[in-house]
Structures are given as structure tokens and as C-alpha cells.
Amino acid sequence: MNKEQYLDFLASWQEIVFILVFVALGLAVLNYLLFQVRYQSLKDFKEKFDMANEKQIKMLFRTHIFLAFAIFLFANTMSYETMQIKATWFFIRLFVAFCVGFLWGYVAQLILKFYYPGKLEKRLKKLRYTPRVNPETGNKMKLLSEEEEDAYLDEGMQAEENVFSVDYDVWIDPATGFTKIEKYKGHLSALECDRCGFQTLRLSKEEVVREATETEDGELFKEYKCSYCNRIKRKTVILSHKIKEQSETARLIDDPLAHDNRIAVIKIEIHATNGEVKEFDFQNLDQAKQFLSEFDLEKLHEDSY
Ligand SMILES: [Zn+2]
């Protein structure tokens, strides 16, 4: 490439890249505005919450990628006179522009990952706890407390609340009794990390280690991970055992061990005054009782001699 060709190339580059700067800027603005328009058009606070929670950070990241690209392109149109001196300058500018654009994207990503979630969390809280309005009457609704809300949740919902990181909010219109139930996923919202202090501690794993049975408590394992300092916090939650049916409870009080499947063996040791010890094994309490009621030391001696 001779000098003239290089200058021609430089001139076209300048024109095309300058247009591309505006294309990238336009995409950034469009991406941001489309989100805002959609978000503002939502009337329901829960829908707003979901959109902000799931899409806000991704949208901002995309916006900053477009911006980083616009910066990279714009830097490639600067110092036109210097570029005309030598082609080397062109490559130096290309490299520097790339570094600046990359840095922009990188810093934006850091802020969105570590600092921004805390800010977003505040907004999400506001969206979640802003009093709902009854669409029929326009009355302000009241958020029920954890204890009060159980009456409005079906068994499945309650179980879900107890076991997994799910929260149901029950809003009620005190005047008409109209209720609105909203489901929130606990693992989506981040907690404040107790090591680094950022709002970046999230539930990363949740599994039932042992199902609760009729007689024994179960265990639920939860693992939280901080996306900033990588702190891992593990927690085991006890799942209280299921309450038995009324009739079974009644029978249990009557005869607590008769049909208890926890009992594998009943051992009875009989120590006689002469130092003789006899041991008997039974599979259940009925057999043992039967044995004891018919027990006779004389008979035992007859047996043993
Ligand atoms: Zn942390």
C-alpha cells in the first residue's frame, strides 16, 4: 500500500466509522428506552418487580456494551492529522481505542455485578411493599403478616413456603375481603454478604437431604454463594416431621408402643436372686406383653433344668 492508497483508506475509514459511532450510540439509547417504556407501561407492581428483577441488570449491561463499542469507534476517528503521517499511528490508535472501549465495558460489568444489585434491591423492596390497590374498588390493600397469611394459602403453597425459598405475599382489601396473592422467589433476591458487605449473597443450591417422615424430622440443605468475595455459606434447615392423622394420634396415646415401627427388638432380661440371668428377645410389644403376663419363674426353672 503506498501513501496515496493509505490516505484514501484513512478518509473512507473516517467517514464509515463516524457513522458507526452513531449506530452504536443509537442502539444503546434504543435498548435503554425500550426497556423504560415497557417498564413504565406496566401498572402492576408485581409485574414491575419481576421485570426489574430479571431484566434490569441485563439491559444495563447491553447498553454499556453498545456504549463501549461507540467509544471504541469514536476513538478511531480522533487525531486525523497525526494518522496521515504514518500508518503505524493508525494501528496504535486502533489498539488504544480497543483498550479504552474494553475498560469501559469491564468497569460497567464490575459495577453492575457488585455495586448495582444493592441499589436495585432497594427499589425491588419498594415495589414489593408499596400498598396494592383493589382494582374493583380502588381501596388500598393491606399486607398480611406471615401468621395471618396462612389462612389464605393452600396446603401446597404453605409447604412451598416452609421448605423452599419461596415467599407468598397476601394482600387483602379489609373492606371487601378481596385478596391478591403474589409469589416471590427467595433465591432471586440477594442478601448482604457478612464478609464483604455487598448485597451479593445468593442462594446457589437447595436440596432436601432427608424427607421428613411421620416420626422423624427431615433436613434441608442450603448453600449461599457471594458473587463478589466468593464466600460460601452453608446452612441446614430442619424440616419438622409431619403431624399424624387425628385417629392415629389417639391410638398412640392409648398404647404408645404397640404398633411402633421404630421398634425392631424388645429384650427382656430376668435376673434371679441366685445370680441366674435369662434373656428373651421379642419382635414387638404384644409378644413381650404376652410373655410377661404368662411369666412364671418356676416354669422358667423347669425350662432351664
Ligand atoms: Zn461477599
Q: Specify the pLDDT at position 242.
A: 55
Answering whether pTM is above 0.85, one says no
Backbone angles phi, psi at 269, to 5 degrees: -110, 130
pLDDT at 264: 65
- pLDDT of 58 reads 96
| C-alpha 226 – ligand 1 centre gap (Å) | 5
Neighbours of ion ligand 1 (CB under 5 A): 193, 195-196, 226, 228-229, 231
The chain-wide mean pLDDT, for the chain, equals 83
Residues 4-30, mean pLDDT to the nearest whole number: 96
Instruction: Average the pLDDT over 289-295 and give the result.
Output: 76
For range 281-294, the mean pLDDT: 74
Percentage, residues of the chain above pLDDT 70:
85
Q: What pLDDT shows up at residue 244?
A: 41
Alpha-carbon distances of 226 from 116, 199, 264, rounded to whole Å:
14, 9, 46
- Asked whether the beta carbons of 208 and 218 are under 8 A apart, the reply is yes
Helix, strand, coil fractions of the chain, as percent rounded to 5: 55, 20, 30
- Crossing angle of helices 3-41 and 45-75, rounded to 10°: 170
| Confidence band for 1, pLDDT divided at 50, 70 and 90 | confident
Reported as a pLDDT band with limits 50, 70 and 90, residue 300 is low
| Residue scoring higher pLDDT (63 or 209) | 63
Beta carbons of 105 and 63 less than 8 angstroms apart: no
Distance, CA of 287 to chain centre: 52
How far apart are the CA of 221 and the centre of ligand 1, in A?
20
Is pLDDT at 257 greater than 80 in this prediction?
no
Instruction: Give the three cell numbers for residue 42.
Output: 406496566
Name the pLDDT band for 186 (thresholds 50, 70, 90).
low
Neighbours of 73 (CB within 10 A): 21
Residues whose CB is less than 8 angstroms from the CB of residue 38 and which lie 6 or more positions away in sequence, other chains included: 51
User: How far, in Å, is the centroid of ligand 1 from the Cα of 88?
Assistant: 45
C-alpha 203 – ligand 1 centre gap (Å):
13
Q: Is 210 left (phi over 0), alpha (psi -120 to 50) or beta?
A: beta
The rounded percent of the chain whose pLDDT value lies above 90 is 43
Instruction: Give 18-76 pLDDT, tens digit per residue.
Output: 999 999 999 999 999 999 999 999 999 999 999 999 999 999 999 999 999 999 999 99
Residue 254 has pLDDT above 90, yes or no: no
What is residue 246's predicted lDDT score, i.e. its pLDDT?
36
The pLDDT of residue 73:
97
Q: C-alpha angle with apex 264: 299 to 303, nearest 5 degrees?
A: 15
3-state secondary structure (DSSP) of residue 120: helix
* Dist CA 14 CA 80 (whole Å): 8
Q: Is a pLDDT exceeding 50 seen at residue 258? A: no
- Whether the pLDDT of residue 265 is over 90: the answer is no
pLDDT band at 148 (very low <50, low <70, confident <90, very high): confident
47 Cα–ligand 1 center, Å: 29
Chain position carrying cell 393452600? 154
C-alpha cell at 290: 404376652
Whole-angstrom distance, CA of residue 116 vs CA of residue 64? 14
Q: What is the pLDDT of residues 88-138, one digit of tens each?
A: 999 999 999 999 999 999 999 999 998 998 899 889 989 999 999 998 888
